[in-house]
Amino acid sequence: MQRDLLYKDLTYRIRGAIFNVYNNLGFGHKESVYTNALSIEFEKNKIKHEREKNLIITYDSKIVGYYKPDFVVDNKIIIEIKSSEFMTINVEKQLIYYLKGTNYKLGLLVNFGGSKLIIRRKIWSLDQ
C-alpha cells in the first residue's frame, strides 16, 4: 500500500527554496546566513513562515519549556538549519524530540555545511 507524503506539495515548495539558496550561496557559511537567505526565498515564493516561533513543550498538561526552531512553515512543518561539515545522529534525534514535544508531525533538518546539501525529513506520530 502506497501512502502519500505528509504535506507533499508544501514540502516540495520548501525544498525548492532550500535548493535555490544552496545553489546561490554554496556551502560553508554561518547558519544565520542561510536562515536569512531562506527567509527571503520563502517570501519570494509566498511560503508562509515564522522565524524562531516560540513553541511550548508540555508535560502532564503543564508547560515545562519552550523551543524556538529556525522556522515553522504554514504552522505545519518545523525546519532546523545547520551549517556543519558533519551531521550527528544527536541532531536528528533532537528534531524528533521537538516534534514529539510540540505535537508537530513533520520536521526538516537541513545542513548547508558540507560539500553536499543534506535535507532529512523526520516524521513523528503516535503510531511510532
Q: Grid coordinates representing 49?
A: 513562515
Report the distance separating Cα 46 and Cα 27, nearest Å: 25
Q: State pLDDT tens for residues 71-99.
A: 999 999 999 999 998 887 888 888 888 89
Closest CA to 67 of 37, 104, 22: 104
21, 37 contact by CB (below 8 A): yes
Extents of the domains making up the chain = 8-123
Q: State pLDDT tens for residues 6-27.
A: 899 999 999 999 999 999 999 9
> In the predicted model, what is the mean pLDDT of residues 38-64?
94
83, 73 contact by CB (below 8 A): no
CATH of 8-123, one of 3.40.1010.10, 3.90.320.10, 3.30.497.10, 3.40.462.10: 3.90.320.10
CA 6 remoteness from chain centre: 14
Q: What 3-state DSSP class applies to 80?
A: strand
Mean pLDDT of the chain: 91
- Distances in whole angstroms, Cα of residue 50 to Cα of each of 39, 72, 125: 9, 5, 23
Q: Report the chain's C-alpha Rg in angstroms.
A: 15
